[in-house]
Amino acid sequence: MKNLKLKAARAGRDLSQDDLAKICGVSRQTISAIEKGDYNPTINLCISICKALDKTLDELFWE
């Protein structure tokens, strides 16, 4: 399932996939795969993304 909430939050902070990837210590392809729903991130990566975007796990990863 696509993660449009993540994509919207990232865009709302004016960050590219590459910018977010660098902040979180992963590749741009990883962020792209998460947004497309092709990759299920670890809880640690979810937390890192949430901190970078100033969002909660509920806001980005739960329906």
Q: Which distant-in-sequence residues (6+ apart) come within 8 Å of 55 by Cβ? A: 9
Domains and CATH numbers, the chain: 4-55 (1.10.260.40)
Q: What are the tens digits of pLDDT across the range 10-30?
A: 999 999 999 999 999 999 999
63 pLDDT more than 80: no
3-state DSSP percent of the chain in helix, strand and coil, to 5: 65, 0, 35
62 pLDDT more than 90: no
| Three-state SS at 21 | helix
Q: pTM score, two decimals?
A: 0.93
Tell me how far apart the alpha carbons of residues 27 and 35 are, in angstroms, rounded to a whole number: 13
